[in-house]
Structure 1
Amino acid sequence: MTAQTAPRRRRRVRPQSVINYALALVVAFAYLFPLLFVLNTSLKSDQDFFRNPVGLVTSPQFGNFVEAWNRGHFGALIGNSVLYTLAAAGLGTLVSLMIGFPVSRGYFKHSRAWYGLFVVLLFLPNAIITQFQLLLRIGLYNSQLGYILIMAAAVGVGPILIAAYARSIPIELDEAAAVDGAGYWRYLFTFVVPLARPALATVFILQAIGIWNDIILATVLLPDRQKAPISLGLYAFQGTYNNEWGLLAAATLIVAAPLVVAFLALQRYLIGGIVGSVKG
């Protein structure tokens, strides 16, 4: 006897799955279309752009990226941005940890009021004049240290995310560490930091994005262009009467490329940190 193969069952396509995929495609298109449009513009000459701004490029001008790199002095400015991003985002993440964890555990009085303060601070405008006066009075105006400290202080949602994520860490672990004689700081950096790594990575990434893209504070606090971040290199392409749109688009992609690469490499930490904070 020959064994008869059982007929394969066809997977039923549920309407909800179709709707979910359709919505995902719409959201992906909404995010990718501006990036593709800028890429298309970056490969155009000025004549091609003004002839048809939204048309597809026919003769790609890859030299736009070389000229944009040289004219914007990105080679000299990218080191400043890397320094500001790593230092300020790292320090800001540390501050968020030192604030968010004790608030989540109730080690501060009126912890709910602290949560409310964190939320209110998200909606307050940036006090540029106050920050300018502060750095001027303490002698850190037009200094890299002063700029790093100001950017690190803008913790944003950092304390909220870390406080929410810390709720998923059993409080019994705190008690066990106290019984074993571990001090607070040893416990925080030896146990909490490894356990809260997804949330810390998320806070670091979010703050790094804001620091890398900052233009306003860098313009006000760093008048010396030798200390400017890479984002200020875009000013080299702003003309009085017209703009060279191809070069400007190429320069924009040069500035955004490190963030895109970093996001693709670290997205699993970002998603894990956000999901963990929501569950916590």
Structure 2
Amino acid sequence: MTASATTAPPTLRPEPTAPAPTRRRGRFGIHLFLGAVSLAFLAPLLLAVYASLRPYEETAQYGYFSFPRRLSFDYYRQAFIDSGMSKYFLNSLLIAVPGVLLTLFLASFVAFAVSRLRMRGGILLLMVFTAGNLLPQQVIVTPLYVLFNKIPLPYWMSDSLTMYDSLWAVIAVQTAFQLGFCVFVLANFMRTLPQEILEAAIVDGAGVWTQFWRVTLPLCRPALAALGTLQFTWMYNDFLWGLVFLSDGDKLPVTSALNNLRGEFFTDYNLLAAGSVLVALPTVLVFLLLQRHFIAGLTLGASKG
């Protein structure tokens, strides 16, 4: 036998890995850092909840970081009743829900045309929609104010017979400013979908509407859920547009209801904290209901090459 025949083939040695204690220490450090960052973001909310459960006299005497002597939910009942928060909640929902649905509906149309159809100037159109997000909203407050006062509406749509002082004005502005961001996100997401699915639908005789509504849009459900959560939070929490375009106090969104809790000469900040917590509850509820789809929408594409 030759020497080469008797020589055993070389064995592959595994790559050296870090010892288990080192990996555990690294994982513990990451968890500790993430916990500290989460606590830093939650600290203002936790302080507001803590202050809303204590009487103002107690915090004025002992400070907000003192040990509580008495806790109660009296401020929440008082904040809800004194501010008339129920009608303002309804106003915010009448603005946010149609605004979100209209924004996602229009953005999905544009994103589909830009990313899935072979059309000239698609990239330029996407750049125009994206550039719209760079325009400061406060710059066009005065032009929009003048414009909405000149746009007529029928009496059943607006008491003022114009677009000014109607919820339609706030919905239109919210939709216009959020449309560019949604188009940008949806277009990039649709580009990650396999082109073969659309080609198979075309071979089966599907038209453009079928390709959009029955093939592409169901695959975008996680992205739509993530965008819907963000858009509802932004539109619901907005304070500027309702204050500018609504002169009737009964039509203002819920964020303006907090002004009703401020006294002329004295402000109970514990009562104001209770009102702030009540105002934030709908957005927290929406996130809890859609958190699975929201997280899936954020992580889609993270493992793709």
TM-score by structure 2 length? 0.82
> Which amino acid in the other structure matches residue 251 of structure 2?
K
| Partner SS state of residue 107, structure 2 | helix
The ranges of structure 1 where at least 4 consecutive aligned residues each deviate by more than 6 angstroms after the TM superposition are none
Determine the C-alpha separation between the residues in 1 that align with 2:125 and 2:298.
20
| Partner SS state of residue 137, structure 1 | coil
Deviation, 1:279, is 5.9
Determine the C-alpha separation between the residues in 1 that align with 2:177 and 2:69.
44
Determine the C-alpha separation between the residues in 2 that align with 1:100 and 1:16.
42
- Asked whether the equivalents of residues 103 and 175 of structure 2 are also in contact (C-alpha less than 8 Å), the reply is yes
Deviation, 1:246, is 0.9
What are structure 1's unaligned runs of at least 5 residues?
A: 1-9
Find the partner of 2:102 among 80, 91, 111. Answer: 91
Determine the C-alpha separation between the residues in 2 that align with 1:182 and 1:105.
14
Which residue pairs with 1:147 in the alignment? Answer: 170
Deviation, 1:186, is 2.2
| Partner SS state of residue 116, structure 1 | helix
Deviation, 1:56, is 3.9
| Partner SS state of residue 64, structure 2 | coil
> Which amino acid in the other structure matches residue 98 of structure 2?
A
| Partner SS state of residue 181, structure 1 | coil
Determine the C-alpha separation between the residues in 2 that align with 1:216 and 1:124.
16
Kindly provide the CA deviation profile for residues 208-264 of structure 1, in whole angstroms up to 9, marking residues without a partner as x.
Answer: 111110111101111112222211111102234432101100000000011112112
- Report whether the alignment pairs 1:266 with 2:276: no
Deviation, 1:277, is 5.5
Pair member with larger Rg? 2
- Asked whether the equivalents of residues 49 and 245 of structure 1 are also in contact (C-alpha less than 8 Å), the reply is no
Kindly provide the CA deviation profile for residues 176-211 of structure 1, in whole angstroms up to 9, marking residues without a partner as x.
Answer: 222322221222111111110011111111111111
Deviation, 1:74, is 0.9
Superposition CA RMSD, Å: 2.1
Determine the C-alpha separation between the residues in 1 that align with 2:104 and 2:83.
30
Determine the C-alpha separation between the residues in 1 that align with 2:47 and 2:259.
21
More displaced stretch, 74-83 vs 196-205: 74-83
Which residue pairs with 1:238 in the alignment? Answer: 262
Question: How many matched pairs?
Answer: 271
Determine the C-alpha separation between the residues in 2 that align with 1:99 and 1:158.
10
Kindly provide the CA deviation profile for residues 51-98 of structure 1, in whole angstroms up to 9, marking residues without a partner as x.
Answer: 213334321131100010011101122122222111111111112111
Find the partner of 2:143 among 116, 130, 133. Answer: 130
Determine the C-alpha separation between the residues in 2 that align with 1:277 and 1:145.
36
Determine the C-alpha separation between the residues in 1 that align with 2:129 and 2:303.
19
Bigger relative CO (Cα 8 Å, ≥ 6 apart)? 1
Determine the C-alpha separation between the residues in 1 that align with 2:99 and 2:301.
23
- Report whether the alignment pairs 1:75 with 2:75: no
Find the partner of 2:123 among 112, 130, 144. Answer: 112
Deviation, 1:173, is 2.0
What are structure 2's unaligned runs of at least 5 residues?
A: 1-18, 152-161
- Asked whether the equivalents of residues 234 and 251 of structure 1 are also in contact (C-alpha less than 8 Å), the reply is yes
- Asked whether the equivalents of residues 41 and 57 of structure 1 are also in contact (C-alpha less than 8 Å), the reply is no
- Report whether the alignment pairs 1:23 with 2:33: yes
Deviation, 1:106, is 5.5
Deviation, 1:19, is 2.2
Aligned runs of 1:176-191 on 2, under 5 Å?
176-191=200-215
- Asked whether the equivalents of residues 76 and 275 of structure 2 are also in contact (C-alpha less than 8 Å), the reply is yes
Deviation, 1:278, is 5.3
